[in-house]
């Protein structure tokens, strides 16, 4: 426990609102996730938001309040992580994080906990749940969970990574993976929060970190499948096939996958309203360097679990090579289809 010489009065001790939400990390995914929470706030709810980049916060506030002005009074942007403790109307029920790496999650949670410990206001009235939807390494997440339970036992820290990418975040169709054994172990209020942003909630196990284990296993599959899709479509092209027709064939055949259909790398295959990255020069979407990050995390986790991944090293080789180029690293992973053609041309 941190020693504090002078206590600091935090939130108001007045009657709690229906639900108070906090959201930290308003990047490509967070912008949309936070938007869905904002749009579905009840009249007595409040949503507090923060991003390390002030421009992201400004963009978020401007976008959501212009589209849904009726909830404007329920949204409060904050200037720092500590503000989630000291500049809120009442103690928050949930504080959600969507940040790049484990070190960022650790830093945010430690700052929150340390500021809660400085409060002279009674923090036992509400059991604040820290909910992390970032994709980070399992050991760090376990360490953060232990830290929270040791420092403030009635608080909780749950790993709740997501699948569905930017498109899923935009549409509100994300899948959440939680370290909970059954649906009965997920509180109704947490189910309500997650249902604002997604359509699927999967309990993955009672041990903390099982949500991340499911996420990394899934994203390992995505990474290697994406390479296979790019290779397959280039093979079809080499045979002189019409790639739009081939893409439609694959969508109803045994080669069907998320990478070949929902994130099809061929332009113009699906209606414009599908808003696929291929039709936007692969801008936005789930970028290549994040795919590589998840592949590396999955490989490392497999090693610590004494599991050899047969496609781990070969997949990492090609993602490493692609990420040497900034124009590939920062575009949607479907861009590897075009990159493989460039590689083939060089080898001729």
Q: Do 74 and 47 form a contact (C-beta atoms < 8 A)? A: yes
Q: How large is the greatest C-alpha to C-alpha distance in the chain, in angstroms?
A: 75
Instruction: Clarify whether residues 127 and 268 are in a common domain.
Output: no
DSSP 129-153: EEEE-S---HHHHHHHHHHHHHHST
Instruction: Clarify whether residues 237 and 315 are in a common domain.
Output: yes
pLDDT of residue 348: 59
Higher pLDDT, 8 or 323: 323
Instruction: Clarify whether residues 227 and 297 are in a common domain.
Output: yes
Give the count of beta carbons closer than 10 Å to the beta carbon of residue 126.
16
What's the average model confidence in pLDDT over 333-339? 98
> pTM for the full model?
0.90
Q: What is the pLDDT of residues 55-103, one digit of tens each?
A: 999 999 999 999 999 999 999 999 999 999 999 999 999 999 999 999 9
What is the average pLDDT value for the chain, to the nearest integer?
A: 93
- Which residues share a beta bridge with 12? none
Instruction: Clarify whether residues 230 and 313 are in a common domain.
Output: yes
Here the CATH number for the domain that contains residue 163 is 3.40.50.720
Q: What is the pLDDT of residues 244-259, one digit of tens each?
A: 999 999 999 999 999 9
pLDDT of residue 128: 97
Proportion of the chain above pLDDT 90, given as a percent: 88
Higher pLDDT, 220 or 3: 220
Instruction: Clarify whether residues 170 and 259 are in a common domain.
Output: no
Instruction: Clarify whether residues 65 and 49 are in a common domain.
Output: yes
Higher pLDDT, 275 or 267: 267
pLDDT of residue 2: 35
pLDDT at 159 over 80: yes
pLDDT at 277 over 70: yes
In a domain, 13, yes or no: no
Here the CATH number for the domain that contains residue 229 is 1.10.1040.10
Q: Do 29 and 162 form a contact (C-beta atoms < 8 A)? A: yes
pLDDT of residue 201: 98
CA distance 342 to 217: 30
Instruction: Clarify whether residues 238 and 283 are in a common domain.
Output: yes
Give the count of beta carbons closer than 10 Å to the beta carbon of residue 239.
7
| Boundary-marking domain end, from 166, 181, 206 | 206
Number of domains forming the structure of the chain: 2
Find the domain containing 119 and state its range. Answer: 20-206
Helices (H), the chain: 28-39, 54-67, 83-86, 102-117, 138-151, 165-171, 188-197, 210-238, 243-251, 288-304, 312-322, 326-329, 336-347
């Amino acid at each position: 426990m941190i020693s504090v010489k002078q206590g600091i009065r935090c939130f108001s001790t007045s009657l709690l609102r229906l639900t108070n939400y906090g959201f930290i990390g308003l990047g490509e995914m967070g912008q949309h996730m936070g938007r869905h929470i904002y749009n579905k706030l009840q009249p007595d709810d409040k949503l507090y938001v923060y991003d390390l980049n002030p421009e992201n916060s400004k963009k978020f506030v401007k976008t959501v309040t212009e589209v849904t002005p009726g909830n404007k009074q329920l949204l409060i942007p904050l200037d720092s992580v500590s503000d989630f403790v000291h500049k809120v109307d009442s103690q928050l029920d949930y504080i959600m994080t969507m940040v790049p790496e484990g070190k960022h999650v650790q830093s945010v949670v430690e700052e929150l906990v340390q500021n809660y410990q400085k409060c002279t206001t009674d923090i036992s009235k509400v059991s604040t749940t820290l909910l992390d939807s970032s994709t980070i390494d399992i050991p760090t997440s376990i360490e953060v969970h232990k830290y929270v339970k040791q420092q403030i036992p009635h608080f909780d820290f749950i790993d709740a990574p997501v699948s569905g990418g930017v498109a899923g975040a935009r549409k509100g169709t994300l899948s959440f993976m939680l370290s909970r054994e059954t649906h009965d172990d997920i509180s109704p209020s947490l189910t309500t929060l997650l249902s604002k942003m997604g359509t699927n909630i999967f309990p993955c196990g009672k041990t903390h970190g099982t949500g991340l284990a499911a996420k990394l296993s899934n994203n390992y599959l995505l990474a290697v499948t994406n390479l296979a899709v790019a290779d397959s479509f280039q093979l079809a092209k080499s045979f002189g096939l019409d790639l739009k027709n081939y893409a439609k064939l694959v969508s109803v055949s045994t080669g069907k996958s998320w990478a070949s259909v929902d994130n099809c790398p061929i332009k113009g295959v699906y209606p414009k309203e599908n808003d696929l990255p291929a039709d936007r020069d692969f801008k936005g979407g789930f970028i290549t360097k994040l795919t590589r990050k998840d592949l590396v995390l999955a490989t490392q986790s497999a090693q610590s679990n004494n599991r050899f991944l047969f496609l781990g090293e070969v997949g990492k080789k090609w993602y490493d090579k692609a990420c040497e180029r900034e124009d590939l690293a920062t575009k949607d992973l479907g861009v590897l289809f075009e990159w493989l053609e460039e590689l083939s041309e060089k080898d001729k």
